[in-house]
Structure 1
Amino acid sequence: MLLPDHSYVKAESLEECLKTLRETGEKAKVIAGGTDVIFNMRLKLFQPEVAVSIRGLKDLLQVEELDDGSVRIGAACRLADLIDHPLAGGRYPAFRQSLEAVASTHIRNMGTLGGNICLETRCWYTNNSDQWREGLQGCYKTDSELCHVIKSSTKCHAINNSDTPPALIALGATLTLQKEGAKREVPIAEFYRADGVDFSVLGPGEIVTHVTIPPVSDRQVFIKITPRKGMDFSLGAVAARCDGEGEQISNIIIVLGSLVTAPVVLDKPAQVVLEAGLTDDAIEKAADLVRDELGEVSNLYGRSIYKRQIAIVLVKRALTQLREQ
């Protein structure tokens, strides 16, 4: 499949990138590693007139410790480089596990942290050739008022299949979003929307420039289930973090990913184990609440009943592993 016609701009600075995005508006698409964007351009899901490359921008490649002990990571850092970095994967075990879970070695060698955070939502009706989509009369992601997954739905149910966001949410990370003349900080837990089309809070001309992770306890875990290890997108993932020792815990957070349109923070299951501790009974009770917390689950990439069971198993495994740490 050939790429659609477009012009290419290699930004020499962050300022040039943001200026180009302001001038070109919706006609432009940012490319860093390109592992997702280029593929979607070949499928004609993305047809930008201008591709703006931020690959290698020094402003977005830094990993540094701030005065308060937080770690600030540039969005253009390659996933592979962060796995063994002492301030990234070396400091945050769940983050490291999520980085190692992304696709294959060659994808991690090209893909960037910002790209994984902004990964386009996926649907087996949409992520196919344009000839395939024409036979289905379009959908919400292709400018039609229809969802092939849930026919009666008034929104898109494409899935957020990114691996690092659940871990970063569990770690309390904050994103720096920047456009020409403006910058803002957004907790990554508030970055995603439950809509497969408009799936993030990024505005026109705005990009993710940095990720900041606060100092937290190393009692944390990330688990991912895939059909084939090291290759496939996730069928389901979980990240969890807590303070305390043994069964006695505090400040616990549990996050599910790759099951619906956005990562899901499980409040009720977390409250159960926060009050009762990480006992076998409490873990079972917490897992029983997952179905309700997860909400509506589609049949994308697996039957909904199977995906709900995956979610329950993931939560049990995560809480059990936290207890053992």
Structure 2
Amino acid sequence: MTAYLLKRLVIGVATLVVASVVVFLMLEVVPGDPARLMLGMNASDAQVELLREQMGLNQPLLIRYLDWARGLLSLDFGKSYTYSVPVLDLIEERMVVSLPLAIIALTLSTLIAIPVGVFAAARRGKAADTIAMATAQVGVAMPNFWFALLLVYIFAVWLRLVPAGGFPGWSAGTWPALKALILPAFALALPQAAILSRVTRAALVEVLGEDYIRTARAKGMPMRAVLWRHALRNAMIPVLTIMGLQFAFLLAGTIIIENVFYLPGLGRLVFQAITQRDLIVVQSVVMLLVATVVVVNLLVDLSYALVDPRLRSRR
């Protein structure tokens, strides 16, 4: 187990190093002068030169990368040109929206998908299975933004149960803040639940064909106990993989949803930084999201060994 953990840590660190090089070179492959892009074509040469000096663009490439990497290790992401504040402050301010939103959406997705997947697998080949998977297929094909607009129309405009958009902040109280995240969370969760339910069903159908499942059934164990106590646990590895990928997606891929609901999260920050050509913010947020994906994947790999003891003995 220790060797397995060390191996995964080394892979994670190597991935972060390679990713940092790629993300840093984003500024180098952008056509034109990054400082000119950020200031606009109407900026004077003196303004461009001043910004180049502030960003360290006058230094050699290797020196700039090492300085930037050193800043990342000390959580110094630089200063946003647009907002004139440290990028870390912007990330912290937006993370209090995006992180709870991702956690709520993943929780809803899991609570919906696992029972649906188990239900469909237990009725494999029957009408209930066909209907459940057809509904899931519709959820997979449904665009997030269209579903979000539909939820806004039904629950905010028509029924007036929740706000249509905006975020009051956690200082306004826990319930008002959570109320503002309900619709965005469902808009994110249901399409992801459709994917996860199909994966759960497929994994369970494969496990239900194993000899030990037939033995348990032959001994008289109820189908419900077989499904939830034995089959589901052994089918969790692909399910956990998808859940890990979904959490990273929910944290990083909420640009459209946060813009639909006017939420001041990381996705909206990236969108605004791109439109305002604030490349420092884009670079820092992308690197943070890469690190999040690496950490989540590491946790998922560790969860494999917790779910299936056979993997601990192999490694």
Same fold (TM over 0.5): no
**Structure 1 length normalisation: TM-score?**
0.25
The structure whose RCO (Cα within 8 Å, separation 6+) is larger is: 2
Structure with greater strand percent? 1
**Structure 2 length normalisation: TM-score?**
0.25
Structure with greater helix percent? 2
